[in-house]
Amino acid sequence: MSNVEFKRHRRLRSSNAMRSLVRENHLRVEDFIYPMFVIEGENIKNEVPSMPGVFQVSLDLFKEEVQEVYDLGIKAVILFGVPNDKDEVGTGAYVETGMIQQATRLIKKEFPDMLVVADTCLCEYTSHGHCGVIHNHDVDNDESLKLLAKTAVSQAEAGADIIAPSNMMDGFVAVIREALDEAGYTNIPIMSYAVKYASAFYGPFRDAADSTPQFGDRKTYQMDPANRLEALREAESDVEEGADFLIVKPALSYLDIVRDVRNNFNVPVVAYNVSGEYSMVKAAAQNGWISEKELVLEKLTAMKRAGSDLIITYFAKDVAKWLAE
């Protein structure tokens, strides 16, 4: 081979220490935001059938759940509420006794340095399961914005550290920013679900949050998975309107979009590793078809490599344990 010229890339892969030395991307426990579902009622800890290891937990048992997350060194959680009563206008989203509001107060009292991200949406609270109010069989953008702003302010009043609007109405960042500022919450950042696709990967979440639309789908507000430029338009509007973080959701099939958003904007980028992405791995692992730990670490590292700074993931607790080993 002496007269053939080629590069010896394997030199830098020769041992664990060598690979470690040249590794370009790393996972840290500080990268993770852990999603939690708080359900109305008492003494409830329901495992979500399509999401093994993920539970809907009532407030009286919630402290224990958060304690576990806290002890693992996870610095942030994102909260979703599962109320008993729903109505046409999603009242449960913006009342003081709302599930997110109560859970937020509890966390901020017991774990003051745990960051609470409040998912700001109506779909878990509306009887029809859509993310806003319905007029003429479609979600009314501007009417929904008013309720969304009210929701954000009530979550901030409860002590939320970050407001994360997810209903994909046009102008939601602008309207929420204005409402938060007027209420005196100028220092509360907005983590916008800026780029959110109408995805089949949300199926298991809708079981967990009981938020399946009762008619139609979300395609008039969430994005078409076929589109890439549209993601940049969405992100651009949100940054102009004052978004402090940009979420791309789902993550795994959209890493090209994570990279586009990273390359075009200077705010922290968050990949949402959604429910379906979790369930697929769990199902395969339960069947012994894949090696769960290796696969999860690989795919989350891929999200970092694609350019995300933070990852919202149901695997956060598992990964925190693995990283500590």
Tell me which residues are annotated as active site: 196, 249
Shortest Å distance, C-beta 42 to ligand PBG: 25
**Residue 206, marked binder:** yes
| Between 185 and 197, CB nearer to ligand PBG | 197
Compute the least distance from the CB of residue 205 to ligand PBG, in Å.
3
Shortest distance, position 202 Cβ to ligand PBG, whole Å: 4
Q: For residue 254, say whether it is annotated as part of any ligand binding site.
A: no
Closer CB to ligand PBG, 206 or 317, in the complex? 206
**Which lies closer to ligand PBG via its Cβ, residue 97 or residue 212?**
212
Query: Do the annotations mark residue 123 as ligand-binding?
Result: yes
Choose among 285, 315, 322: nearest CA to 299.
315
Q: Which residue, 106 or 191, has its beta carbon nearer to ligand PBG?
A: 191
Q: How far is the CB of 10 from ligand PBG (least distance, A)?
A: 39
Query: Shortest Cβ distance from residue 86 to ligand PBG (Å)?
Result: 14
Q: Is 234 annotated as a binding residue?
A: yes
Point out which residues bind ligand PBG (CB under 6 A).
119, 121, 123, 131, 166-167, 202, 205-206, 274-275
Q: Any idea of the CA torsion for 90, 96, 100, 103, to the nearest 10 degrees?
A: -160
Query: By beta-carbon distance, which residue lies closest to ligand PBG?
Result: 205
Nearer to ligand PBG, 177 or 196 (CB): 196
Contacts made by residues 108-112, CB under 8 angstroms, sequence distance 24+: 108/158, 108/159, 110/63, 110/66, 110/67, 111/66, 111/67, 111/70
Q: What is the rounded distance in angstroms from the CA atom of residue 148 to the CA atom of residue 35?
A: 20
Cβ atoms 164, 121 nearer than 8 A: no
Report the alpha-carbon distance of residue 156 to residue 276 in Å, rounded.
Answer: 29
218 belongs to an annotated ligand binding site:
yes
Residues of each annotated binding site: 121, 123, 131, 206, 218, 234, 275, 314
Residues of each annotated binding site for Zn(2+): 121, 123, 131
Residues of each annotated binding site for Mg(2+): 234
